[in-house]
Every structure is written in structure tokens, then in C-alpha cells.
A = this chain, B = another copy of it.
Amino acid sequence: MKRRTLLGAAAATLGAGALPGCTSLPPANGTGDLGLVIERASGTLAVVNTTARSVLGEIPGLGDLSHASVVYGRDGAHAYVFGRDGALTQVNLPQRRVLARIQQAGNSIGGAISQDGALVAAQNYTPGGVRVFDARTLAPLADIPATYQAADGSTRRSRVVGLADLPGRRFIFSLFDADEIWIADVSDPARPRITRFGNVGRQPYDALVTPDGRHYLAGLFGEDGLALIDLWDPAPRVRRILDGYGRGSQPLPVYKMPHLRGWAVAGREAWLPAVGRHELLVVDTARWEEVARVPVAGQPVFAMARPDGRQVWVNFALPDYHLVQVIDTVTRKVVRTLEPGKAVLHMEFTPRGEAVWISSRDANHVSVIDTASFETLARLPLAAPSGIFFTARAGRIGL
């Protein structure tokens, strides 16, 4: 039924002579305007189209999708879904089916795909480390245990967080329990070469690579401040920035740690969710110093820049998780407060930013909102939607 819809549309484009489902021409539609929405309660992915603003169909059987994330192969048809339960699933969007699925760890927290699209890497809590797979077949290629020397002298494995792709079949990630950041060069998967940065600060808990691939920023759970590496430096080293950024000194309870993958780089500034405080921090990305704070309605979770950087959209932890605020990055003021439905978990901009898709888990819908007029263009009923991932991520660094 769902499949027929897509093929019917393709056939209509092909003209009256073509039979649905059996034609000598490939379908007329591309994958550039497709995406996946995680329906986490049912272990299902919804395949969506951002031009028609519609749900094309579903892919069931994905298991535990809490905190699941998605990366895309170069063609935009193939996606890799990292489940919290340690499963790695390769799906095909146009065909709306699972192509391959492996249980690669006991407890996992996301992944990345190499710049050339050949390697998929998963970051794992149990057993702590990174595993690398052939993007085509999911065959295991490399296992990188995140071993470190504990205070008692024993060798342990750290939980791994903040994994991102770097140019040239390299991945960067943080060791939460070891206070380290590693770069793994997997050009030869049989012999990964590791560069270690030690004493980066206590408990790096999440991280990102800036859109230009130049800077790696890791948030610290165990103390104030962030760890920064300028990857373009001939001899990269860890620098501590934004002491007093939040976590350590602030007296507010933290209902949800901000997601750093969602940090927004808009022009020359990064917009960071303050930890615990009802504020966004504006940071100059040349000096990496705070230049302003902007008050917002609650504890920010994601702060995401519209692709042109003119707006930053922010959602919040409990009890303000029914709200979304929009900030104009030039005036640094909140220009709109929206209530798209209870439990806003994620936001994803269309590639050129004319619209944003927002998931409201407890309202069981995804809203499509015009970023200029703030009008709701569509509301798609979906069961407990969380993460939203569009295929344009395939062409972006660090996503």
C-alpha cells in the first residue's frame, strides 16, 4: 500500500504507457529530499519527503531506538542507524527496508561515517571503544578498545562519546572515564593508528566537530569549561576554554545535559546551550571566548543554527519541553516562541533552511514550520517521534 504510493507517483511521471512496478526506467524521484524520523516507542523509522511534507512509509524492526541516531551513505539512499542497544542497522530509504543488521555492542551511543563514505564507526559504552565496519556490507573491519590505566593501576575500558568524522578515514572521539580524546586513523583498518590527548578535563560527555572540520569541542561533565582542539594546528593540542561555562559552579539542578552535536555555528559565532542555566552562550570562534549571553525560556537542550546562520532555534529540558524559541543572531534577541506540541525532542532544518521539522514526542506528531513566517506548513502524525535526520547530512562534515 505504501509502496504502491511511491511507485504510482513514479509511474504517473513516466506517462500512461508505463506499468506501475514494472518499467524500463528508474523512478523519476531522487533521494535529496528524503529523511528519516525515529519513532522510538515502536522501533520504527518513518521515511519522509521534505518537498511533499509527507510520510512515504515506514521501516519496522529496528529494536530499541531510544537515543538512536542516523548517518547517511554518499548516495543518500542508504542510512546507518545506531541503536542504544548496540545494534547497527543499514536501511534503504527508497526501498523502505532493512538491508543488514548486526548486534555490534551491548550498549552504544551513536556513530559516524568516514568522509569517503566507505567506513561506518560506532561508539560504544559496553564494551567501551569504537568499532569500524564496511559501509557496504557491515563486515567488521576494526575494533578499537578504549583502554586506559585506572588510578589503581589496572587496565580498564572507557565509555566512548562525541565520535565524529575527520578528513581522510579518521575519526575523533572522547573517553568519558579516561579524560582523554583520541584520533583514530583507519586508512588501513587492520592497523588503526591512534593519537591520544590526555588530561583533557574531567569526564568529556559529548562533543562536536565544527562544520568546517577544524575544531573539536568536548563538553566536560566533571567540571566547568570545554576542551578544544584546533585540528588544523601543525601540532594539535588540547586547550581549555570557557571556564565557568556551567556545570561545575552552577546551583541549578540539570534536568537534561545539552546535546553538543546540536551546537550551532552561525557565521563567526558558536551558540552554546548553557548547562543548567536559562541561557545561550555566544562564543567568538576565533578567540573562543564568550561575547554574550542570551536569556531563553528554560534549560536549553539543542541550539541549532538555520543553515544560513541568521537564526538559532532552541528547545528545552523539563518542565519547558513544550516550547521552542527562535533567536535572531544579528540582534541576539528571541524573535518568536512556539509551542509545537509537548516533549519537543529534536529539530532538523531542510537543506537550504526554508523550513524546520520539529518532533513532539508526547503529542505524537512532527511539525513542519516555515522559518520566515513561523507558519505551520504541515503536521505529520507519527508515534512518539524523536530524532529527525535528512539525507543532506550525507554531504556535510561532522554530521
Known: A32-B394, A352-B396, A392-B395. A117 touches B22 (CB 8 A): no
* Cα–Cα, bound, A113→B21 (Å): 31
- What mask results when residues 54 to 70 of chain A are scored 1 for a CB within 8 Å of chain B, else 0? 00000000000000000
A116, A117, A232, A308 — which one has the most chain B CB atoms within 10 A of its CB? A308
User: Could you say which of B309, B354, B395 contacts A115, with CB atoms under 8 Å apart?
Assistant: B354
| A74 contacts chain B at the CB level, 8 A cutoff | yes
* A331 (CB) vs chain B CBs: closest residue: B234
Question: How many copies of the shown chain assemble into the complex?
Answer: 2
Q: Given A30-B391, A32-B31, A32-B394, A167 and B354 touching (CB < 8 A)? A: yes
- Residue interface bits A134-175, CB-to-B below 8 A is 1, else 0: 000000000000000000000000000000000110000000
Contact of A32 among B51, B76, B116, B330 (CB under 8 A): B76
Query: How far apart sit A6 and B72, CA to CA, in the bound complex (Å)?
Result: 21
Q: What size tier do the contact residues of chain A reach?
A: 35 or more
Q: Is there a chain B Cβ closer than 8 Å to A24's Cβ?
A: yes
Q: Does chain B have a CB within 8 A of A120? A: no
B308 contacts A286, CB within 8 Å? no
Q: Is residue A77 within 8 Å, beta carbon to beta carbon, of the partner chain? A: yes
Contact of A308 among B29, B32, B214 (CB under 8 A): B214
If A26-B7, A26-B10 touch, does A395 touch B351 (CB 8 Å cutoff)? yes
**A residues near B, CB below 8 A?**
3, 6-7, 10, 21-34, 50-51, 72-78, 92-95, 97, 115-117, 167-168, 212-214, 232, 267-268, 286, 307-310, 330, 351-354, 372, 391-392, 394-397
Given A75-B32, A268-B268, A308-B167, check contact A24 B26 (CB 8 Å).
no
- Given known pairs A32-B75, A75-B51, A308-B213, the reply for A94 and B27 (CB within 8 Å) is yes
| In the complex, chain B residues whose CB is within 8 Å of the CB of A25 | 3, 95, 97
